[in-house]
Structure 1
Amino acid sequence: MHDHDDWDREINLDTDQPNQRMAVRYRRTDLRAAIKVHSLLFPRLFHVVLYDISSRGAAVISNDKLNRKSKVSLYLMFPDGQRFDVVATVVHCDHKKQRYGLKFDGRHAELAEHLLHTQTDLHFS
């Protein structure tokens, strides 16, 4: 047996870091998504690729830049025709990878239910 065997170490489940992801995120490639940027001067609507989604937020990939703290609407269309319009705030920007994190304004139980019931490939992130 090794002196530093990982199996013999005590595991501390209490950490100072809060869990930033409080909901299950689903990877979905079957949803169509678009974003509308709320702006009085330059409102824009453009298509995005949905990276993952939960009832509280989503990660999207976009060729169009989004600014942190911007208010947006995320439009989702499921293959069964069901549509959702979710108001969100951009909380994370990685311009190099063109990846953006959105935090929904409130929890969306109906969206969460529809995500769960229409999930076919179980890929969680």
Structure 2
Amino acid sequence: MDFLDQEIDLDSEWSNKRTAVRYLRNDIKAAVKVHSLWFPRLFPVLLRDISSRGAAIVTSHKIKKKSRVSLFLLFGDGRRFQVEAAVVHHDVGNQRYGVKFDNLNSELAEHLLHTQTDLNFS
């Protein structure tokens, strides 16, 4: 049997469940505003990777899972984006958070694609 003729189990452990290409970018400045009635906070974060549907960020500030946040992005060409999102993942050991955007942001996706200089994908 040819390897390419084998059936693929899409629910297997090794399959990538991400539905959008994530770009590894170190040229985008990022900040997060945590929405809170009593203590709204705004602080810079390190952007690990990003797509049109979400991002992975690193910060020493504590953010609770399911928190509502705004992610502010500043590109090298001066273009700015504000994206509403929710924290859906927290890796305590690495201080890494996964945020899922409320909506697919096609304008952001286009800008990510057009400003990508290194072809590094995760």
Q: Same fold (TM over 0.5)?
A: yes
Distance in 1 between residues matched to 2:88 and 2:119, nearest whole Å? 26
1:104 and 2:105 aligned: no
Unaligned runs of 5+ in 2: none
1:119 and 2:107 aligned: no
Which piece of structure 1 moves more, 10-19 or 95-104? 10-19
| Structure 1 match to 2:45 | 48
Q: 2:11 aligns with which of 13, 16, 32?
A: 16
| Structure 2 match to 1:67 | 64
**Percent identical:** 61
TM-score when scaled to structure 2? Answer: 0.91
TM-score when scaled to structure 1? Answer: 0.89
Q: Please give the per-residue CA displacement for 1:32-66, whole angstroms capped at 9, x wherever unaligned.
A: 00000000011000000000000000000001011
* One-letter amino acid matched to 1:49: L
Distance in 2 between residues matched to 1:19 and 1:81, nearest whole Å? 33
Contact (CA 8 Å) 1:23, 1:54: kept in 2 or not?
yes
Deviation, 1:69, is: 0.3
Runs of 4+ in 1 over 2 A off after TM superposition: 7-12, 14-20
CA RMSD of aligned residues (A): 1.7
Distance in 2 between residues matched to 1:8 and 1:82, nearest whole Å? 46
